Structure 1
Amino acid sequence: MSEAIENLSVILLTLRNKLLVIAGVLITGVIISFQFTGPLIEKMTVDLLPEGAKLVYVSPLEVMMLELKLSIIMGVLLTLPLIAFYAYRAISKRYSIKIPTSIGKSQFLFLCLAVVIMFVIGASYSYFLMLPIFLKFLYIDAAESGVTATYSIFKFISFIATTTAIFGLVFELPIILTFLTRNGFVKYRTLATYRKHIYILFLVSGATITPPDAFSQVMVAVPMVVFFEISMVIVRLIGVKNKLSKPDPSATAVGITKRN
């Protein structure tokens, strides 16, 4: 556990030193994404608003703030690969990990392709399967109680965008955990030991990003648990390929600070 905390400290130190670069990519992504938020909101409304429900805005700046939030979400998604690269490089320097050039490029391209594909699958599951089912369920449940469904456009679209982005990231679990264990950053035994804690984290996440009902929370939490278990099976079958050597004294946190 202490070693994991030390590795996290090294990663945070590296990210702090690269903060200007990360901020630059984030701001650029937000500015570019902002141009597409209008058509995106319209498409989400057409695709997912239950028939008979209505969208309203309750404050003059609500639509503009919604567009800003969507652009920030897309900007963060564009920035995550850069953050992951800096984090990997920080740990690689700490343990003096060297990947052979002959296989490095092919593995990198395959990894990038797999990451994109899994994100698209996860986002598609959320947008085309999960969200239509339980948005309709919630609408019918409200209608049977004699309530007219009038949604705030900010809350409705924000919920859709946040849930879709989160599921895109959740579907990356098999790739992330396999990569970490293959390179010796995380041990299978550690993941198995904290399995129950991870389940609780998934349930809390489901309760945080969904409406306060058990159905929607389960719809979010169950795929997280399933993909975690799929990741565990893959990790157990593949095993650890590269064991980490002891940290290089020259690659301590202070050394990383000077090089960056």
Structure 2
Amino acid sequence: MSEQQETFIAHLIELRDRLIRALLAIVIVFVCLMPWAGAIYDILAKPMMDTLPAGTNMIATGVVTPFFVPVKVTMMVAFVFALPWVLYQAWAFIAPGLYAHEKRLALPLVLGSTLLFLLGMAFCYFFVFGTVFKFIAEFAPKSIVPAPDIEQYLSFVMSMFIAFGITFEVPVAVILMVKAGIVDVAKLRESRPYVIVGAFVVAAIVTPPDVVSQFMLAVPMCLLYELGIVLAGMLSRPSPQQEAAGETVQQLAGPAAADGEGEPR
């Protein structure tokens, strides 16, 4: 077996070990949280329950739905709790193959993207859900008694979490595009009108058909785009050491260029 094949197999073995450690952490946290699966779902359902009429509860239309839905929610919470360890395993796998300047950029981006995704979920839970559910409850006819199905509610909540989590990744996407040389900061500033229109189009597609939730997704997306432009501009500026080195090179090149101009061709 060649040395290249041995290296490839060693990387596969390390990847397998890292995945096993990450999955094991999720399973351990999940098992520890299982006794409180019902309470965890109640926390997730609180924004909806606060807007339902007094004495009204959510319903479960399936036979095993009252068991599996809280289990799914608990698995999601276990993944969020174990996420730092999962990210560490991913970082430990890719870090040896990165250059020093790539490590300085990659680690903040990984941590920042994770934090932004969690902030998107938190913004959705604490601000968006209450506003949207209250708007729907006030808009619904008085002759209707809402009784949401817990499985449909979970599906709605997960889609909203993903939508807002991805939306909060806009600054990271902007920074990566600038650092990769795909677009520069000046071009991003010129594209503001198109980004604003695109943000409202995306919000209209991924959110419920009400103006409130669309604005609550589109406006943060535009603000985060502006934040990404600011951060990308800061990261793309040369450091003082690089500016000093550039000035030194120009000073050294100046006399040489002058000497070269006096020489006959």
Q: TM-score, normalised by structure 2?
A: 0.59
What does the per-residue CA deviation read over 1:208-241, in whole Å, with 9 as the maximum and x for residues that have no partner?
A: 4x43545434433432343233122222123367
- The answer to whether the Cα contact below 8 Å between 1:70 and 1:158 also exists between their aligned partners in 2 is no
What does the per-residue CA deviation read over 1:165-204, in whole Å, with 9 as the maximum and x for residues that have no partner?
A: 7646654654x5698689x5x4572796799699869955
Residue aligned with 1:56, SS: coil
Name structure 2 gaps, 5 residues minimum: 1-10, 240-265
- The answer to whether the Cα contact below 8 Å between 2:52 and 2:146 also exists between their aligned partners in 1 is no
Cα distance in 1, alignment partners of residues 205 and 78 from structure 2: 25
| Residue in structure 2 matched with residue 7 of structure 1 by the alignment | none
Cα distance in 1, alignment partners of residues 65 and 102 from structure 2: 49
| Residue in structure 2 matched with residue 38 of structure 1 by the alignment | 38
Q: Of the candidates 50, 62, 66, which is equivalent to residue 65 of structure 2?
A: 62
Cα distance in 2, alignment partners of residues 138 and 180 from structure 1: 38
Report whether the alignment pairs 1:71 with 2:68.
no
Judging changes above 3 Å, is the alpha-carbon distance between structure 1 residues 163 and 189 closer, same or farther for their aligned structure 2 residues?
Answer: same
1:1-260 correspondence to structure 2 within 5 Å: 18-49=18-49, 50-52=51-53, 54-97=57-100, 121-143=119-141, 146-160=143-157, 163-164=160-161, 167=164, 170-171=167-168, 174=171, 176=172, 186-187=180-181, 189=183, 204=202, 207-208=205-206, 210-213=207-210, 215-239=212-236
Cα distance in 2, alignment partners of residues 90 and 47 from structure 1: 39
Judging changes above 3 Å, is the alpha-carbon distance between structure 1 residues 205 and 66 closer, same or farther for their aligned structure 2 residues?
Answer: farther
Judging changes above 3 Å, is the alpha-carbon distance between structure 1 residues 117 and 48 closer, same or farther for their aligned structure 2 residues?
Answer: same
- The answer to whether the Cα contact below 8 Å between 1:173 and 1:228 also exists between their aligned partners in 2 is yes
Which amino acid in the other structure matches residue 27 of structure 2?
Answer: I
Cα distance in 1, alignment partners of residues 173 and 65 from structure 2: 39
Residue aligned with 2:208, SS: coil
Which amino acid in the other structure matches residue 163 of structure 1?
Answer: M
- The answer to whether the Cα contact below 8 Å between 2:199 and 2:221 also exists between their aligned partners in 1 is no
Residue aligned with 2:183, SS: helix
Which amino acid in the other structure matches residue 189 of structure 1?
Answer: V
Name structure 1 gaps, 5 residues minimum: 1-10, 243-260
Which amino acid in the other structure matches residue 126 of structure 2?
Answer: F
| Residue in structure 1 matched with residue 243 of structure 2 by the alignment | none
Judging changes above 3 Å, is the alpha-carbon distance between structure 1 residues 238 and 99 closer, same or farther for their aligned structure 2 residues?
Answer: closer
Which amino acid in the other structure matches residue 217 of structure 2?
Answer: V
Judging changes above 3 Å, is the alpha-carbon distance between structure 1 residues 18 and 151 closer, same or farther for their aligned structure 2 residues?
Answer: same
**Identity percentage of aligned residues:** 20
Greater RCO (Cα-Cα under 8 Å, separation 6 or more): 1
- Cα distance, 1:152 vs. partner? 0.4
- The answer to whether the Cα contact below 8 Å between 2:167 and 2:221 also exists between their aligned partners in 1 is yes
Q: TM-score, normalised by structure 1?
A: 0.60
Which amino acid in the other structure matches residue 130 of structure 1?
Answer: V
Larger Rg: 2
Judging changes above 3 Å, is the alpha-carbon distance between structure 1 residues 151 and 202 closer, same or farther for their aligned structure 2 residues?
Answer: same
- The answer to whether the Cα contact below 8 Å between 2:30 and 2:78 also exists between their aligned partners in 1 is yes
